[in-house]
Structure 1
Amino acid sequence: MKINPDFRSFNKEIKRSGDFSIQQAQEKSFSDLLGQQEEKSNQEQLQKMLNQVQEQGERLLRTMSIRELRAYKRLIQQFLEETARRGVGIKDTMGMDRRGRGKKYKLLNEIDGHLLQMADDLLVQEQGRVELLHHIGEIKGLLINFFY
């Protein structure tokens, strides 16, 4: 019987495929990569919204018009709603009261402290403008009460 000199052992190829599977396990899965990209996109969007609020605040200080005031209030409201929606989650839990009866509780979980900190920083930076909005809102309410 003659042995074929071109015959190769598949042993090396098996080792390579084994190394490849280890490499795949070490790499991040597609869902992890997708989650990271989504988080990055969300952060960029929130940063863009924060910049819009600050720019609108500067315009409001320069012009002091009703149109700029409305736009500023709308941007602040959108930013705070978005950060609250992404930064806090509601969880329903069951518990017992003092008498042993079942009771349903809603717990707020802080999902992303960074988002909530960003919202707090915005409120601190824009404190003077927010107070101005409060006073303007009070005056508007008084005028509406006066006319009706």
Structure 2
Amino acid sequence: MKISQEVRTQLESATKGTRSQPNQQMDFSNIVQTKANQLKEQEFERLMKDITKQGDKLSRTRSFQDLAKYKQFVQRFMKEAAQYGLGLNKSHSWNRNGKNRMLTTIKTIDQKLIELTNTVLEQEKKGIGILQLIGEIKGLLVNLYT
């Protein structure tokens, strides 16, 4: 039995129409993902500026209020970095004895975010060193007091 040319063209036109819709959906999801990534990067850059500004202020004033604010900024930045920069991947596997074991791996999702975290830590190394010295002095004073 031969397939006539008319049936073949109808089938081809029907399949061409269905193929174009997933591409449009893929384009939309890519656009949404790109915009979400841009917003995340802007938020991290803003947090980095806040940390840098507060680190400079802390190194000048060395007050406990500035220290607390600096710690809050760093904690917030690290929380955001852990939430958006790293993904927790869990999987189950079986060993030779037939026992189930759960494997947990941390997967790097956004390498730029990790690089940004490292950049902030490098820039604030001096401030962190000053804070370390302040902490040691405070500890020595507490030991002297008790």
Q: TM-score, normalised by structure 2?
A: 0.73
Partners of 2:141 and 2:93 lie apart in 1 by: 49
Partners of 2:144 and 2:107 lie apart in 1 by: 44
Could you list the runs of 5+ residues in structure 2 that have no partner in the other structure? Answer: 1-15
The amino acid across from 1:84 in the alignment is A
Q: In the superposition, relative to structure 1, how do residues 142 and 104 fare at CA in structure 2: closer, same or farther (>3 Å)? A: farther
After TM superposition, the structure 1 = structure 2 runs for residues 25-36 of structure 1, keeping only pairs within 5 Å, are 25=23, 29-36=27-34
Q: How many residues align?
A: 130
Instruction: Choose the corresponding residue for 1:112, options 106, 110, 113.
Output: 110
TM-fit CA distance, 1:137: 3.4
Identity among equivalent pairs (%): 28
Structure ranking higher on relative contact order (CA contacts 8 Å, 6+ apart): 2
TM-fit CA distance, 1:32: 2.1
Report if the CA contact (8 A) 2:59-2:130 is conserved: no
Q: In the superposition, relative to structure 1, how do residues 141 and 37 fare at CA in structure 2: closer, same or farther (>3 Å)? A: same
What is the aligned partner in structure 1 of residue 135 from structure 2? 137
Report if the CA contact (8 A) 1:94-1:103 is conserved: yes
Deviations 1:73-128 (A, max 9, x none): 11111111111211111111112346442211111111111101110111111112
- Which structure has the greater CA radius of gyration? 1
Could you list the runs of 5+ residues in structure 1 that have no partner in the other structure? Answer: 1-17
The amino acid across from 2:43 in the alignment is Q
Report if the CA contact (8 A) 2:44-2:77 is conserved: yes
The amino acid across from 2:99 in the alignment is R
Partners of 2:98 and 2:26 lie apart in 1 by: 47
Q: Which is richer in helix?
A: 2
